[in-house]
């Protein structure tokens, strides 16, 4: 079935540094969604990408959809302790499928 691979699984970041998490699919996607789950919390919708090459920003978060619509990235600049949590991507062309998530920890 359709799957999405998400890397890295863990990201330990120094406060103030940047990092990127990636989601990759073997098939062309209609759209991709990103969610964030804080420790002890539940997934919360962040953003949706639909167009080829689309780039969307939310403050220090930059989301990108690849030109071929097979991959997506989330880049966070100047990481803060509030960025701690797990970031998931979600695809739904054939079957709902979440990526495994990137769990981010921040050292002050």
Partner 1 sequence: ETGVTQTPRHLVMGMTNKKSLKCEQHLGHNAMYWYKQSAKKPLELMFVYSLEERVENNSVPSRFSPECPNSSHLFLHLHTLQPEDSALYLCASSQDLLSGGSTDTQYFGPGTRLTVL
Instruction: Among 11, 83, 88, 104, indicate the residue that binds partner 1 (CB under 8 A).
Output: 88
- Measured in degrees and rounded to the nearest 5, phi and psi for residue 82 equal -70, -10
Residue 24 interacts with partner 1 (CB under 8 A): yes or no: no
In whole angstroms, give the CA distance from residue 74 to residue 93: 20
Nearest-CA neighbor of 106 among 10, 11, 13, 4?
A: 13
Q: How far is the CB of 82 from partner 1 (least distance, A)?
A: 17
Residue 44 interacts with partner 1 (CB under 8 A): yes or no: yes
Q: Element (H or E) spanning 69, and its range? A: none
Residue 29 interacts with partner 1 (CB under 8 A): yes or no: yes
The three-state secondary structure class of 83 is helix
DSSP conformational letter for 92: -
Residue 108 interacts with partner 1 (CB under 8 A): yes or no: no
The three-state secondary structure class of 81 is helix
Residue 39 interacts with partner 1 (CB under 8 A): yes or no: no
Residue 30 interacts with partner 1 (CB under 8 A): yes or no: yes
How many residues touch partner 1 (CB under 8 A)?
24
> Which residues of the chain form contacts with partner 1 (CB under 8 A)?
29-31, 33, 35, 41-45, 48, 50, 88, 90, 92-101
């Amino acid at each position: 079935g359709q799957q999405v691979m998400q890397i890295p699984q863990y990201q330990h970041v120094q406060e103030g540094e940047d990092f990127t998490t990636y989601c990759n699919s073997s098939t062309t996607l209609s759209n991709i969604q990103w969610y964030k789950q804080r420790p002890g919390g539940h997934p919360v919708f962040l953003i949706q990408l639909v167009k080829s090459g689309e780039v969307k920003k939310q403050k220090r978060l930059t989301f990108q959809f690849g030109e071929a619509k097979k991959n997506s990235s989330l880049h966070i600049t100047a990481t803060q302790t509030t960025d701690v949590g797990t970031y998931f991507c979600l695809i739904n062309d054939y079957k709902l499928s979440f990526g495994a998530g990137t769990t981010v920890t921040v050292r002050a």
